[in-house]
Structure 1
Amino acid sequence: MSFEEVAMGLRYDQRLLEMLVGVYGPRTRMVLEALKAPPREYALRVNMLKADPDDVVGEFEAMGARCRRSQVIDEAITIEVDGPFTVRKRGARITADKFAAESVMLGSNLYEPGILRSERARPGDEVHVADIYGHVVGSGIAHFSSARPHTKGVAMTTTESVYRLPQIRETAAYSEGRIQEQSLPAMLVARILDPEPGEVVVDMCSAPGTKALHVAQIQGDRGTVYAFDNAPNRVAKIRAEIRRLGIKSVRAIPRDSRYIKQDFPSMIADKVIVDPPCTALGVRPKLYEDARASDVEACSAYQRQFLEAAASIVKDGGEIIYSTCTLTLEENEGVVEYAIENLGLELAPQEPRIGSGGLKGFTRAQRFDPDRTDTPGYFIAKFLKR
């Protein structure tokens, strides 16, 4: 497939493509192709306050999955992804939103909130799921009626999908709070931060709460973790995850953390995570992304505000981890450069490392390139406050 065909399928605008070419040069086509497929292995984090990773690996192997422990992160396990497969168009078409379609693409069931529209269907009918551009991602058995309003339940049990995994959220390990879905680069954030019991850690943009909960688990649930998010519905999801995993030391707070110093003037953190809103260009698998260069520029300005707030509350000598799931210089190394020049922060070494060094001379940062590391695209920088 040509560069033009790959780029057209992802629906990036021309100026954004030029930004990516500036990062990857002749590799850009391979990067974009990698984004359209999942990594060969799907990562899960075991809640080691409740479970042993070897036991969880055994449970997935008993389901027929090819599962193993990570050699880098003790609490990480990975499951091999099967596919791609051709999905037949069975029965009525259900058009799903982007997130739901990409989940079904990996074998997840379709839930009713993900439905945008549907041809006539009744419970028990064979149906198939497509995204808004007509890409068929899965098929299965309907559990809803197109004649009534959608609720929150399972809309379709998936029997065929482009890629196949165990249905993670239907397992006992998930319902009992023994696992969380999290990519390997995202797991590295808390491991690089290396929080100690008793430390105060602030997660500035926490939803869905995976990093904050990972921090709490590393601390043995014996620290104080503040998980901020501006949207009440997302805070509700963090609180649901806190309950599911049985964590006591995480407090979810519905506030815009850019104003944390004004809202919580006595707040002093030992360590801070800044994983701000970004263009998410590194997320895999990606059916499409209606992204523009102007989105990158807006995100970059927004991200700097969260780092400014983080620098105002972290103690002298304290640590800040900045991470994104995107690919552009403007949202990654450009923000690092701003922090060093304006916020009294210095770039620090980080361990463990499985990515490559950052660009623009910021080799202490980590970049995860989808065409080389077989992970989502990701970026991590560790700062010390001088």
Structure 2
Amino acid sequence: MHTQQLSRVQFVMLSIWLFLGTGFLTLPFAIGQFTVRDAWIVPFLFIPQGVIVAGVITWFRQTFPGQSLVEGCHTAFGPWWGRIPSLWFLIMTLVVECFVLREVGLFLTTTVLPSTPEYVVNAMFLIPVAYAVYQGVEAVGRLGETITPIGMGITLVISVLSMQYADPSHYHPVLADGWTPILRGSIVVWMYAWLLLFVLQLGEAVPQRLGKDLVIMVLIITSVGLVAEPTICMVLGPSAAYSLYPILEVVRTIRIADFLERLDTFYVMGVVVGIFLQCSFIHYALVTGISQWTGLGHYRPAVWSGAVLAWAGSIFFIRNESMFLEYVMYVGWGYLTFTGIAVPLLAVVVHRWRQRRKV
């Protein structure tokens, strides 16, 4: 079976959406529940968090060259025992995809489709996702390569245009509440950092040495955070803590006479495309993992059945918006941290120990 390949540029520009896809929606709100004035400090804390995740990914790739996370588990623990940790990874992948799908459904029904049932919105969103994954990771990578520069440019322009309403006094007093709220806000960012773990499922589709590319990803994501969080703080001030979508509120404030207004339409379209890339990446990780776990010759037979499973899970796993936000802010980081540390690192340690015993 021919393995599709991503270039380094495609890999970086696609992978950052694992973080930024729903991150544009969820992170400003979640961080704002802990701190608003000092939220601009949180992106700096992502740098060591991202480096830790990048280190785990790099170590795994060095130990299992050319193998995905599921294949690496089977190599380390054997074809039968290895199915236990790889099954846990697949379950968490499905859960994450369900939450991503539910988030885009909540966003669209709140902003542009209030009269449409959420299960219909989720289904309509997931159909093109499944089709893109069916076409292969190269198709998704080319879309990411095209969309990412445009998205970054629009983000910068929106930030500049919103500066007419900025009030730097919202920053003061700095660190008035100490470091505890900042560290609590960074826990949500830590959870999102572990979403980068899904790049391990690409296997041979990406270059073997990813260290430099992963560092570039961390710096890009940090830069976006350093643009978004200060802008939210200066424009919205304390009211950011009461907005479900703070960036959307910032965009809605932009108006230049009668010439330029209602840019939130473009923001909604951009967010949907970003989440499309994120969901496509996660769905690709899910169906390739299922095919490797079950011994299928190709991942395509699992694409549409996996999509139906994710659609059903997005409706039945998450009962309402409160449950979604509770998971994101207080629960999800524990599950993803355990998955990100226990599964790949345990596979690496066991495999290296077995290799030394053979010597």
Q: TM-score range by the shorter chain?
A: under 0.3
Q: Which has the higher contact order (CA 8 A, sep 6+)?
A: 2
The alignment's TM-score, normalised by the length of structure 2, stands at: 0.23
1 or 2, which has the higher helix percentage?
2
1 or 2, which has the higher strand percentage?
1
